[in-house]
Amino acid sequence: MYTDVKEDTWSFGGGIGLFLKKIAQPGYFDHLRTLVSSLNRGVNRKVALDHYTQLVGEEADRVLEIWSKQDRVQVFEETSRFVHRVIVRCLMGQDFYENHVDELYDILHHMETDIGHPLNMLLPDWVPHPPSRRLKQHRDRFGRIFQQQLAERRKDPQAWKDSLDYISFTLEDPRTAHLEDWLPSHHTVMMFAAHTSTVASIAWTIIELLRNPEYISEVRKALDAHDMDARHTPALLACIKETGRHYSGVHMFRTTHRPVDLDEGRYTVPPDWIVCISPYLTHHDPEIYHDPQKWLPERWLEHDSGTRNLNNPQEVAFLQFGAGCHRCPGEALAGIIAQGLVSHLLKNYDLALGNDDTSQDFSMLDFSKVGSPWLLGDAYIRLSRREE
Ligand code: HEM
């Protein structure tokens, strides 16, 4: 019921607006639905996803080569840089990537720090204070980067005619072309939506593989058997999906506009409340998942649970990407990014945990980000190239 409630009753835009309102231009959230629905048409086209798969492969090879030359690699931090580069290259395009990728990463970090600041959460918009001033500065800088790059594109429209980046799509599509002024805000929101959980998916999969090395050889064998086609290798997909179950922490918030009766009228949720559900709790319910605290990829390969659809209108028990009317439109891209990095890593490198101290506590989850939890304090890994 929760995942299907309509916007005029319980608002999804209001829910994410609680966190992200101040990083967007005033008025952006009025166009949220139109712009978000363009993701399915623009990003989830086969031709675009195939192209992104190729870009992810290039980025993965590049970044893994760099990691292998370092003494040790901070896994969440460095995966975060990798994911950012991929998101900018695929969604914004090669020009944003070549000219601004590092600056955009700094902007993302500054915004993340400032939106979580207590002054921003507690004070109304009209009260000036340093975090809100900084947010505005970064928002304006993001807007100028857009203006500059789009002006460059206009000088040579032929060069951008067939580009598969999402900005090109929205500028061409009649349903979104008139919304150009809102694109900076849309891409800021997309950077937040796309970043944290994709990083968590990759970094936790790497950590769990290192803690359960028997799966490393199994996944390598499966990748060989499938010609390195990560998108169709069940053993690898099961590892990534199990990470999605175990480390799911997206806050699914709604703000309420109308009263809704629950439990045959025993409770009424009034207007102007905030309601949320917790995928994390659902994913750790022993009535749904046996041994829920264990990372067990084989549960997705077993005949009963693996083949059962746990995300259907009667039983919404797997919520990594949400369900119903706000189900994540970035699921395919997130999958491609995670499958790309992990498969290239396992194929070409041997890996080990890089902490000298073997007693690291992997249960310290950091739920403070907009998305799935990271490991508090991060973890280190070491890479060395495998012999051919
Ligand atoms: C592993 C990575 C990801 C996870 C776990 C994830 C999870 C989710 C979840 C649970 C929701 C529903 C939230 C709710 O109902 O309150 C959602 C929505 C959304 N996600 Fe993702 N996401 C991921 C990656 C991405 C990527 C890569 C993009 C961008 C390409 C993206 C864009 C969005 C957008 C725009 C929505 C809102 C959809 C709507 O309003 O209809 N996500 N995501």
Every domain of the chain and the residues it spans: 2-385
In whole angstroms, give the CA distance from residue 128 to residue 192: 24
Is any atom of ligand 1 closer than 6 Å to the C-beta of 194? yes
Q: Is the dihedral of CA 285, 288, 294, 300 positive or negative?
A: negative
Whether 329 lines ligand 1, by a CB cut-off of 6 Å, is yes
Q: What is the pLDDT of residue 330?
A: 97
Residue in 328, 331, 374 to alter for ligand 1 test, most ligand atoms within 8 A of Cβ:
328
What is the pLDDT, as a whole number, of residue 213? 95
Choose which residue among 321, 333, 370 to substitute to test ligand 1 binding: the one with the highest number of ligand atoms within 8 A of its C-beta. Answer: 321
State the distance from the centre of ligand 1 to the C-alpha of 203, rounded, in angstroms. 18
Ligand-binding annotation for 276, yes or no, is no
Q: Ligand 1 atom 2: the closest Cα is on which residue?
A: 198
Task: Check pocket membership of 16 for ligand 1, CB cut-off 6 A.
Answer: no
Output the tens digit of pLDDT for each of the chain's 388 residues.
Answer: 888 888 899 999 888 888 888 889 989 999 999 999 999 999 999 999 999 999 999 999 999 999 999 999 999 999 999 999 999 999 999 999 999 999 999 999 999 888 888 888 778 778 888 888 999 999 999 999 999 999 999 999 999 999 999 999 999 999 999 999 999 999 999 999 999 999 999 999 999 999 999 999 999 999 999 988 999 999 999 999 999 999 988 888 999 999 999 989 999 999 999 999 999 999 999 999 999 999 999 999 987 766 677 777 778 899 999 998 899 999 999 999 999 999 999 999 999 998 766 678 899 999 888 789 999 999 999 999 997 6
Q: Considering only the top CATH level, what class is 2-385?
A: mainly alpha
Q: Tell me if 243 CB under 6 Å of ligand 1.
A: no
For residues 312 and 324, give the distance between their C-alpha atoms in angstroms, rounded to a whole number: 9
Ligand 1 lined by 12 (C-beta under 6 Å): yes
pLDDT at position 314 is 75
Q: Which secondary-structure segment (H or E) carries 14?
A: helix 12-20
Query: CA-CA distance, 242 to 247, in Å (whole number)?
Result: 8
Closest-lying ligand 1 atom to the alpha carbon of residue 190: 29
CA 148 to ligand 1 centroid distance, Å: 28
pLDDT tens, 59-102? 999 999 999 999 999 999 999 999 999 999 999 999 999 999 99
Calculate ∠ Cα 110-64-337, nearest 5°: 65
Q: How far is the CA of 329 from the centre of ligand 1 (A)?
A: 6
The reply to whether ligand 1 has any atom less than 6 angstroms from the CB of 201 is yes
Task: For residue 370, report the distance from its CA to the centre of ligand 1, in Å.
Answer: 11
292-295 long-range Cβ contacts below 8 angstroms, 24+ apart: 295/208, 295/211, 295/212, 295/242, 295/243, 295/246
Taking alpha carbons only, the member of 78, 88, 54 closest to residue 336 is 54
Please indicate whether residue 326, judged by its CB atom, sits closer than 6 Å to ligand 1: yes
Q: Return the structure tokens found at 16.
A: 């994410």
Question: What amino acid is encoded at 43 in this protein?
Answer: V
CB 342 within 8 A of CB 228: no
